[in-house]
Structures are given as structure tokens and as C-alpha cells.
Structure 1
Amino acid sequence: MRVGVLTGGGDCPGLNAVIRAVTKSLLRHGQCKGVQVLGIEDGFEGLMGGQPRTRVLRWDQVSGILHMGGTILGTSNSANPLRDAATLAQVQRNVRTLGLDVVVVIGGDGTMSLAHGLRQIGLACVGVPKTIDNDIALCERSFGFDTAVATVTDALRRVESTGNSHHRVMIVETMGRHAGWLALEAGLAGAADVILLPEIDYDLQAVAARCQQREKRQRYSIICIGEGAKPRGGSLTVREHVAHSPDPVRLGGVGHVLREQLQPHLQSEVRTTVLGHVQRGGDPTPFDRVLATRFGHHAAQLVIEGRLGRMVTLQDGRIGSVPIADVANTQRTVSLQHELIITARNIGVCLGD
């Protein structure tokens, strides 16, 4: 059996831990059965060119990478193997040339949608959920999220000390296009006074009123805002458009928009910090290393058992799997009745409404 492994979409901590677990689990099973693991470079892009870009993954090549951030295989968040018939035909030729029986696809909702679409050329896939946004459907926690929460929480604590010193309103913008899990959990962990999410359009007057109240007491405020948040009646803050990408709209800058909106209403100076790709980088937390290892091992078991077309999940604390078709083209957003939303409200956090 020949098994491909690729990492698609944006990078995040824990990818190498999955690659390691998938490879070692398959090689141990295949010591007497001829299993070969091929790493596909730069995500789906490695299958789209006239010459496929791959490397054989052996035991020693995936040793010592558990703790490393990023991905040893490289990735791409703009490669779209489904963009036209010619590209799809080239992918099909490359898959046949490589003799791939199945590809373990590690990525977010966009990557899972592409993996589901490749069934039309007969490519069998097993999915592993990866995203710092934690927005993959039917999966309560994806690896990379815990590390990102820790990074944002640390940033909030740091801007709090300088905000307190200068009596400022400090805005920290996180990633999270359509789901506010990162801003919500990090905002709670970092003691943010205001948390603004894509799921709740914010009322500028409500946010200003909370900051005005704090001007009279603590004399500083901390606001954590997800990049997909928007004011009531307003629109998303788009940074750029990328042609031919599965995700052509790139968000960013809503923190600066909020600063401009808030400043006329406050005596305090308002400052914005956009964390950007800092949230994706660095070594994974111990939790993410273990979760990524569990995911990678289970993905290998799905391959061994011939249970293809499925994605590994974590539900009710247990590792399992669901059809990739049930995950493709959908997202897991924050319910307004979620326990964390209720908790935030009950401890006095302003959610912008």
C-alpha cells in the first residue's frame, strides 16, 4: 500500500506531530506488508504541477519533530485542485503516477471540502482536523487551537500591563473569520473587558459605554476582537482578495476600524494590536502535541481498516470519525446559548450587544 500525507491550508502548531504519528503508526503496521508513506509537499500544490513533489517518509525522518511548529512538508492556502478541469486532470495523472491508494489530508474546513471534491477522480482520503479557529464541524476541539489560545492570552496579559500604565483602551485583534472560539476562550483567559465575535454584531454605543465606565474606575480597558467581527449594519473588514484560492477573501484590520470608531467617544487613548501570524507560529502546547498524536494514530488506523472518506474527530472527549462529506462546506460557530457565552455575560464581560 502507498499512502500520501499532506498538510493543507494555513500552518498551525501540531502538524508535525500528526505527520509523525501517521507515519510511525503505518510503518509499524506495515513492516511485513510493504506499506510506504509519501509526504506530499506544499499541500495540494504538490499534486497540481507537471511533476508531483513528494518525499518518502521513513521512521528516522519523522523522529524528533513532535515538538516543532509548522510543517516539514510545507503547505499552501491558495492551491485549489478543483479550480478547473485541466488542473483536476493533472492531479488525477499525478495520483496514478505515484500509485497512491489513499491520502491522509491534514487541514481545516477548506481542505476537507477539497478532499471531499477529489472523490470525483477516485482519490480516497482520510481527514485530520487542523485549525486554530476551532471551527471544524462535528469536532469539539482541533489541534492548534490550544496553542493559539495560549498565545493570545499571553498577548492580552502583556497589553494589559501597558494599558494600565498609560490608562489606555487596548484592542487585540485575533484570527477567526467566521467563528469566535479563539477570541472567546482567549478573551476569558486573558480577562478581557470586552469580547467581540463574528457571531454577535457589536453595538458601538454598548462598547463605548463599557469603556467609559472603566475610565471612571480602573482607567483602562482590554478588548479582544475576532477578525470576523463587524458592527451592526456594517460589513466585514476585508484586507485583500486572492484569485483562484479556495478562500479568496482575506480578512484583517477590524481592530483598527474599531479604534477609529471608539476614539471620539473616549478620553482615553485607544490603541490596536493585530496579532496576525504570531498566532500560528511556535511550538505546540503539550495538550496539542498529545491531541495531534491521537488524531494521527487514529487516521492511520482508519487507513489500515480501509475506512476511507472519513475525518478523525473529538466528540465528548473521545476520538472517533465522521464522513468527510458531513464536514465539507460547513463550519462550527459559537452558539449564543453556549456555556462560555453565558459565563462571559454572568461575570460582566461585554459582548458588544
Structure 2
Amino acid sequence: MGDTKRIGILTSGGDCAGLNPTIRAVVLRAVEHYGWEVIGIQQATHGLLKDPPAAMALQPQQMSPLLTAGGTMLGTTNKGNPFAFPMPDGTLIDRSEDMIDGYRKLGLDALIGIGGDGSIAILRKLAQQGNWNLVGIPKTIDNDVGVTERSVGFDTAVNIATEALDRLQFTAASHSRVIILEVMGRDAGHIAISAGIAGGADIILIPEIPYTIDNVCAIIKERQSKGKNYSLIIVAEAVRTEGGDPLTHTDGLGECRLGGIGQYLSEQICSRHVAETRVTVLGHVQRGGIPSPSDRLIGAAFGVAAVDLIAERQFDQMVTWQNRQVMSVPIADAIAHYRAVDPTGTLVKTARGLGIYLGD
């Protein structure tokens, strides 16, 4: 166990279901088993910039409501790279040393960072510069963190997307329409293909597999010829136009965001007079709500394992789920490559075996 007595924990990047159960597991294991202090850092690394740092002591008695609570009690942010931090005048400055100083003010012996590949990569860079003892826990609804089969938040997002397809099927059939469900997936199509299979989609479009509008329309027409008067399409937000152009929009703060592929598909289908279409963009509904039992289990397993790694003084490691058990890998290996949907993998073969159109 070494001389570890006081550990920090933060959540970074986009929120998702399962973060609070993960925090709960860390606190219960660290406090009740090892007798350590756990300090929750608020608003991710931004909390370290405040003087004093924005942080709170976490106690087991606070943890009971967290098992079913969505989001993160610590708050989070996916903005403000410490090494190119945006200032009010629009300039970017390096504030990494300010964050490292905040960590030192808290007197931490180690830090557990819960984040996606981008967040964990930044935390690792800070840890190397500041000589922090870091352990990572993967979370992302996109499930694209390398070398882990599951990340916190993915299962709940799939459940929500599947439920959306279940609901949309009835209205699509009632009005003889094609309904397009656009789901999240910044780089990978894991949500789309998993929910598409589970929710009975007729067409699944993911960024890993190219498609043509003509083939999409042909599938819809084929179904119509067989008396199937409606079709369900699920598409990941990162899917590009048939010509390969990304679909993005700029929000009121000047941020460039993915979105619009559902509307693009709708317009292309309608312009060919194939069917009447409607589009549902699921958006942040996928991030929120009560975590599924699977995300609670993954969060619990990851939280306990992360604390145990600290006790064993195994740092610069990320916990992973592989072959039905928790393991750990060097963070460098985990962030080296993101995990896309394998075009030759089991889910793709399953979808095609069911007659679902996935692309060419």
C-alpha cells in the first residue's frame, strides 16, 4: 500500500451515465478498505485553476444516492486544453503549471482520472510534467477508447437509442414513412450498429463503412415491393455525405460541431421521390438519465480496480474490460489508437446476416 493516504478523483470530457457509480466505488474502496482520504476535484482540471482549488472531501455516507444518479456530482468540462487554454481576450496560453500547482496544493498522493481518450491523454501529459501518480478509467458513450471492450456510459447510450427505435417503429408503420434516427458517435459507429441491431433497424450507416444513396433508396424500394410500407434508418453523426464531406455546424460560441447527416439523408431520399421521411436527432438524451445495470457494474469494477492499482503503486495505467474481466494496460497503449467498429467483426457480420444494409 506504500505511503498513499490522500487520493484525488475527477471526471473530464463529456458527461455520461455511470460516472457517479464509478465515483461511488472509488470512495467506498479507498475509504472503507484502505482508510484513505478521497478528494473530489470539481469541473475536471478547471477546478485546479482556482485558489484554493475547487474540491471536496468525499465520504461513504454521501455515496448512496449516486448509484442511480446520471451525470457526475463533480461536474466536468470538455473545453480548455491546459496547454493551450483560451483566455477572455481570445488568446491561448499554457496553464499546465497552474493546474499542477493546484494539484500540489491539495496534497494528493495519486489521482484517478475518468475520461475518454482525449481527456486521459491530457491528464497523462500533466502527470508526466507534474510528477503525478495517475490511474485512468475509460468513459465514453462512443465506446472508442483503445484496448477496452467497454467504457463507462456506452451501455446506457445504446439502451436509449434502442428504445428510440422501438418507439419510432410504430409511428413509421402508422404513416408509411422512412424515419431516420441520428445518434452520437464522433469518430466511431458503435452506438449506431449496436442499437441498430437491437432495435430492428433496416439500414445502419456508420463512418467505418461507405454507402451510396442509390443503395439506400434501393433497399427502401425493395421493402415497399414486399409490402413493408416503412423503414427505419439509424445513422452515426460522424457519417459523411456520399461525396465524403463532413456535416458540421457552428454554434453561437463559434464551436464547430457534428450534426446534420440525418437531414441530409432525408433530403436525398425525398428528392428521389422514394418515400416520405422524418428525422429524429437523439442528441444529449443519450448521455443523460439513470445508468443501466451494466454501466453500474462496469463503473463499480473499474472504480475498485483503479484504487487497487494505486495501492499496488501501479501508476500510468488505465483499467480496461477484456475477456469478461478487469485488467490494466499502460495509458500510452490505451490512447495510441481509438477503437473503431471492425468492418469484418461480429456485429457487422450479424447485421448483414439479418439482411440489414450497412453499406458497400
Bin for the TM-score computed over the shorter chain: over 0.9
Q: Tell me what 2:245 maps to.
A: 235
* TM-score normalised over the length of structure 1: 0.94
Query: Contact conserved, 1:242 with 1:250, CA < 8 A, in 2?
Result: no
Query: Contact conserved, 1:168 with 1:268, CA < 8 A, in 2?
Result: yes
Q: Name the amino acid aligned to 1:37.
A: V
1:86 CA drift (Å): 3.8
> What is the correspondence of 1:45-60 to structure 2 with a 5 Å cutoff?
45-60=46-61
Match of 2:12 among 8, 11, 33: 8
Q: Which runs of 4+ in 1 moved over 6 A?
A: 241-244
Match of 1:328 among 323, 335, 354: 335
The structure-2 alpha-carbon separation of the partners of 1:108 and 1:231, relative to structure 1 and needing over 3 Å to count, comes to: same
Q: Tell me what 2:88 maps to.
A: none
Q: Tell me what 1:176 maps to.
A: 185
Q: Tell me what 1:28 maps to.
A: 32
- Secondary structure at the aligned position of 1:321 is classed as strand
Q: Tell me what 1:219 maps to.
A: 229
1:203 CA drift (Å): 0.9
1:287 CA drift (Å): 1.3
Match of 1:315 among 317, 322, 326: 322
Query: 1: distance between equivalents of 2:351 and 2:178?
Result: 19
Matched, 1:91 2:109: no
Query: 2: distance between equivalents of 1:256 and 1:120?
Result: 45
Q: Tell me what 1:19 maps to.
A: 23
Matched, 1:130 2:139: yes
Q: Name the amino acid aligned to 2:238.
A: G
Runs (5+) with no aligned partner, structure 1: none
- Secondary structure at the aligned position of 1:341 is classed as helix
1:250-280 CA-to-partner distances (Å, cap 9, x unmatched) read 2112111111111112342111000000000
Q: Tell me what 1:266 maps to.
A: 273
Query: Contact conserved, 1:204 with 1:352, CA < 8 A, in 2?
Result: no
Query: Contact conserved, 2:192 with 2:204, CA < 8 A, in 1?
Result: yes
- Count of residue correspondences: 347
Match of 2:161 among 139, 152, 160: 152
Query: 2: distance between equivalents of 1:197 and 1:48?
Result: 39
The structure-2 alpha-carbon separation of the partners of 1:301 and 1:242, relative to structure 1 and needing over 3 Å to count, comes to: farther
Bigger Cα displacement from structure 2, 308-317 vs 40-49: 40-49
1:143 CA drift (Å): 2.1
Bigger Cα displacement from structure 2, 179-188 vs 203-212: 203-212
Q: Name the amino acid aligned to 2:106.
A: L
1:295 CA drift (Å): 0.6
Query: Contact conserved, 1:4 with 1:100, CA < 8 A, in 2?
Result: yes
Bigger Cα displacement from structure 2, 165-174 vs 225-234: 225-234
Query: Contact conserved, 2:29 with 2:304, CA < 8 A, in 1?
Result: yes
Q: Tell me what 2:90 maps to.
A: none
1:181-231 CA-to-partner distances (Å, cap 9, x unmatched) read 100000000000000001112211111111111223211100000001113
1:122 CA drift (Å): 1.4
* TM-score normalised over the length of structure 2: 0.92
1:89 CA drift (Å): 1.3
The structure-2 alpha-carbon separation of the partners of 1:70 and 1:308, relative to structure 1 and needing over 3 Å to count, comes to: same
Q: Name the amino acid aligned to 2:346.
A: E
> What is the correspondence of 1:58-77 to structure 2 with a 5 Å cutoff?
58-77=59-78
- Secondary structure at the aligned position of 1:16 is classed as helix
1:82 CA drift (Å): 2.4
> What is the correspondence of 1:186-197 to structure 2 with a 5 Å cutoff?
186-197=195-206
- Secondary structure at the aligned position of 2:40 is classed as strand
Query: 2: distance between equivalents of 1:268 and 1:97?
Result: 62
Q: Tell me what 2:209 maps to.
A: 200
The structure-2 alpha-carbon separation of the partners of 1:242 and 1:49, relative to structure 1 and needing over 3 Å to count, comes to: farther
Query: Contact conserved, 1:202 with 1:231, CA < 8 A, in 2?
Result: no
Query: Contact conserved, 1:212 with 1:266, CA < 8 A, in 2?
Result: no
The sequence identity of aligned pairs, in percent, is 44
1:59 CA drift (Å): 1.3
Q: Tell me what 1:257 maps to.
A: 264
Query: Contact conserved, 2:241 with 2:264, CA < 8 A, in 1?
Result: no
Query: 1: distance between equivalents of 2:189 and 2:149?
Result: 14
Query: 2: distance between equivalents of 1:240 and 1:22?
Result: 38
1:242 CA drift (Å): 9.7
Query: 1: distance between equivalents of 2:66 and 2:124?
Result: 29
Matched, 1:210 2:210: no
Query: 2: distance between equivalents of 1:227 and 1:329?
Result: 23
Q: Tell me what 1:166 maps to.
A: 175
Matched, 1:103 2:111: yes
1:255-310 CA-to-partner distances (Å, cap 9, x unmatched) read 11111111112342111000000000110111111111011000110111111110
Matched, 1:294 2:301: yes
